[in-house]
């Protein structure tokens, strides 16, 4: 049986990985925007898409984080590890 602490750590790790993934995605999109500006290759389309896509990803990870923290806070007090 895995103990509570290990599971807690794994949960926090998985959430951090999700943030890492979305941040990576945002960095990637911004990189592509930078390239398009450098090459003068439809910069307006690139900027437009990044303005929409990046907030969407961060909304999702924020919701997940909100749920994670909210569920921990809402726990009955006596089950603290």
Partner 1 sequence: MENAPAAPHPEYDLLRPIENPGKSFYYIVAVLLVIILYTGYVYIRQVYYGLGVTGMAQPVTWGFYIVNFVFFIGISHAGTLISAILRLSKAEWRRPITRMAEVITAIVLAIGGLHPILDLGRPDRMTHLFYNGRLQSPLLWDIVSITAYFTASTVYLYIPMIPDIAILRDRGVKPRWLYEFLSWGWQGTEQQHKVLDRAMNVLMVVVIPIAVSVHTIISYIFAMTVQPGWHSTIFGPYFVVGAIFSGIAAILVLMIVFRKVFHLERYLKLIHFNYLSVLLLVMSLLWFYFTFSEYLTSYYGNEPNEMRVFWYKFRGAFAPYFWTMVTCNFLLPLILLSNRKTRTIPGILIASISVIIGMWLERLIIVVPSLANPRLPYPTGIYIPSHTEWMLFLGGVSVFILGYMMFARFFPVISIWEIQEGRQESAKAVTERITSYMPDPEPRYTGSMENE
The residues, ordered by sequence, that sit 6+ positions from 59 with a Cβ below 8 Å of its Cβ are none
- Total of residues contacting partner 1 (CB under 8 A): 39
Max distance between CA atoms of the chain, in angstroms, equals 61
64: closest CA among 14, 25, 23, 24? 14
Q: Which of 5, 38, 40, 79 is in the footprint of partner 1 by CB under 8 A?
A: 79
The reply to whether 38 sits near partner 1 by the rule CB under 8 A is: no
50 binds partner 1 (CB under 8 A): yes
Using rule CB under 8 A, residue 30 touches partner 1: no
Which CB sits closer to partner 1, 7 or 20?
7
């Amino acid at each position: 049986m895995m103990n509570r602490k290990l599971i807690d750590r794994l949960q926090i790790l998985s959430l951090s990985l999700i943030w890492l993934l979305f941040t990576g995605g945002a960095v990637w999109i911004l990189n592509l925007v930078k390239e398009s500006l450098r090459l003068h290759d439809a910069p307006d389309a690139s900027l437009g898409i990044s303005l929409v896509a990046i907030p969407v990803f961060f909304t999702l990870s924020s919701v997940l984080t909100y749920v994670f923290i909210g569920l921990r806070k809402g726990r009955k007090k006596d089950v603290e590890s």
